[in-house]
Amino acid sequence: MRERFAGAAFELIWASQLPRLLRARSKARGIVFAMNRVLPDDPADFAPNAGLVIKPDVLEFTIVRVRQLGFDIVGLDEAARRIEMEEATRPFVALTFDGAFRDNLKYALPILRRQQSPFALYVPTAPVDGVEEMWRHALEDIVAGQNALAVSLGGETEYYATASLAEKHQAYAALLKRMRTMPEADRVALVRDLATQYGLDLARHCRELVMDWGELRHFADERLCTIGAGTVHGYELAKLGPADARSEIEQSVRILKAQFGAAPQHLSYPVGDAMAAGPREFGFARELGLRTAVTTVPGGLFAGDRYRLHALPRVRIGGALQARRHVDVFATPGLFSLGRG
């Protein structure tokens, strides 16, 4: 339902010519696009994480089109510099990828090289080591493969019908909501219990999805790429105690420095919405000396963001909105920035 509403809204906005008018009058300095996976195939009927996917041809068209619209595609250091400038220069787009997914190497990197497009890759270190649950994708695969689920929570067992497509979506949404509100240790335990119960090898699942350190070397050695920190485990930092939340950031920076020889200067907060990261986490990123940190709260970038470099908004592209005309809508910072500036 949400995807259909968003699609209808994008169609109306595009047809109205509002994006062109807003870009002409906007005071926005630029916009950061957020992406995770890059895959060529259409999603399965049950694919609750399809919103994290952009197709390779859409990625390439996006790069070409935003340049046609007058945007420079820049790295994160340059993005920060342009935000801090007293006078605005040409508007910019920064491309960012979260999660270090293996498909980024196969499908995204050749496009980014062909288009000579700077980009950032935020790396969570535990998944790269093959020791993370990749819980949203694990939950999707478990629900997809079962006609019913028995879930032990708080000493009681809850039952979910998952035979039909509608039931699968309902069960996934309900469990996702529960997992996001429980402590991270409980969420980890629940995912591991479900994986054991329903025969999903979490280590193999993680390795299939995420690059290893050798594969990541292709990105670390690529001059177009900025390696950013994605914490260690990808936990929602706001759910952790202060010491653990700070350590998730600090240790990921140290690990990436040990692997690649340079400490990352940029951070992506896992999940990144207002539930997952807030002023406390923004303060940790600032105290640890990071240059920028990004959320997934939608918005464009303005001169005032020089004071919010550790709470920068991003606009997620892909998912159900991959028609070429949608790029013109995405490339309109003012549409996502009501009340900002």
Q: What is the mean pLDDT for each group of 10 consecutive residues in the chain (341 residues)?
A: 66 73 81 98 96 97 97 98 93 98 99 99 98 97 98 92 98 98 97 98 98 98 99 98 99 99 98 98 99 97 97 94 88 76 54
Domain boundary among 204, 232, 262: 204
**91 and 223 belong to one structural domain:** yes
Closest CA to 77 of 264, 230, 202: 264
CA-CA distance, 294 to 94, in Å (whole number)?
Answer: 11
What are the pLDDT digits (tens) for 262-283? 999 999 999 999 999 999 999 9
Write down the pLDDT at residue 262: 97
Instruction: Give the count of domains, the chain.
Output: 2
- Clarify whether residues 13 and 83 are in a common domain: yes
What is residue 25's predicted lDDT score, i.e. its pLDDT?
Answer: 75
Q: Are residues 111 and 155 in the same domain?
A: no
R_g of the chain, CA atoms, integer Å? 20
pLDDT, position 278: 98
Q: Is residue 266 part of a domain?
A: yes
Q: What pLDDT was estimated at residue 335? A: 80
Q: 70 and 89, same structural domain?
A: yes
Q: 174 with 227, same domain?
A: no
What is the C-alpha separation between 268 and 227, in angstroms, rounded?
Answer: 11
Residues 17 and 81 both lie in one domain: yes
Cα gap 207→107, rounded to integer Å: 17
114 and 75 assigned to the same domain: yes
Give the pLDDT confidence of 62-80 residue by residue, as tens digits: 999 999 999 999 999 999 9
Question: Would you say residue 341 lies in a domain?
Answer: no
Domain boundary (160, 179, 204) is at: 204
Q: 108 and 126: one domain?
A: yes
Coil, strand or helix at 138 = helix
Residue 154: predicted pLDDT = 83
Question: Three-class SS of residue 219?
Answer: helix
Q: Which of 153, 184, 204 is the last residue of a domain?
A: 204
DSSP state of 314: -
pTM for this predicted structure: 0.94
Question: Could you tell me if 56 and 195 lie in one domain?
Answer: no
Query: What CA–CA distance (Å, rounded) separates 339 from 84?
Result: 20
CATH number, domain containing residue 89: 3.20.20.370
Helix (H) or strand (E) holding 228: strand 225-229
119 shares its domain with 139: no
Domain that holds residue 195: 135-204
